[in-house]
Homo-oligomer: A and B are copies of this chain.
């Protein structure tokens, strides 16, 4: 049997509630599956191969396109609650009884909601470049970030501005990341549609708007959580990671230097080491 990598594992489809979801899986056959939840406009092709393959060494990993994204059927909902329901439908359709979650950015909102909805299903959670419901300074985004998120086509180069710091070192790491993203040559996903853009932007803005007692629901997440971010995140400001770690009952916080929203893609090897220590612990 050939060991699959993120670059080579075929895209498969699984059906639940009449929707056909695109997914990929790889990694060790035994152990708790780590389910990846991607960012705004992201598809199966937007994870860093160095992160996915690194984490797949020690556990099964599963990636999927949520409803309406790329080759998945259905419509992208305009709220995180429904995105979490789709994620749960995929997890159940794949027969997973317990999972770890890695949510990045919008995917981190979904990871929190999945954990609140089905605490019995979720063992451990990694939240990268994300924030709590009603967090600080991402509803609205800054004008510069907002302008990019509204572009009709998402360009890979946007990541250099949105995910990395303006320093030479961070920009060089960003270009290396973009190169790794292109390593898969076939069976790639189409870009996300304008419907995805609009629905996801609405979901992000609603999540970022305080409702009720601020941060109260974080207390309900009893699972061990690893919160990571760059020290200067311009999309979901870094203070949100600190707030998450202060309000979650059992959270470890790691902030990386000279980096932004996509710190896990700037330091993929160190992030894999830190995440592995956390998932094993």
Contact = CB atoms under 8 A, between A and B. Distances in A.
Contacts of A277: 270, 273-274
Interface string A152-183: 00000000000000000000000000000000
Interface string A110-152: 0000000000000000000000000000000000000000000
A245 B231 CA distance: 8
Contact of A252 (B245, B246, B250, B256): B256
A253 B250 contact: no
A224 interface: yes
A258 interface: yes
Interface residues of A, number: 22
A256 B254 CA distance: 9
Interface in A237-281: 238, 242, 245-246, 248-258, 270, 273-274, 277, 281
A224 B257 CA distance: 9
Given A242-B242, A245-B231, A255 B253 contact: yes
B254 A253 contact: yes
Tell me if A's interface is mostly helix, strand, loop or mixed: mixed
Contacts of A246: 231, 238
A250 B254 contact: no
A253 B274 CA distance: 12
Contacts of A224: 257
A242 B246 CA distance: 12
Given A270-B277, A273-B277, A277-B273, A251 B257 contact: yes
Contacts of A249: 257-258
Nearest to A227: B255
A128 B105 CA distance: 29
A242 B241 CA distance: 11
B257 A254 contact: no
Nearest to A224: B257
Contacts of A257: 224, 245, 248-252
A255 B252 contact: yes
A274 B245 CA distance: 18
Given A248-B257, A253-B255, 8 more contacts: A231-B246, A242-B242, A250-B257, A252-B255, A252-B256, A270-B277, A270-B281, A273-B277
24 contacts: A224-B257, A231-B245, A231-B246, A231-B251, A231-B253, A238-B246, A242-B242, A242-B255, A245-B257, A248-B257, A249-B258, A250-B258, A251-B257, A252-B254, A252-B256, A252-B257, A253-B253, A253-B254, A253-B255, A270-B277, A270-B281, A273-B277, A274-B274, A274-B277
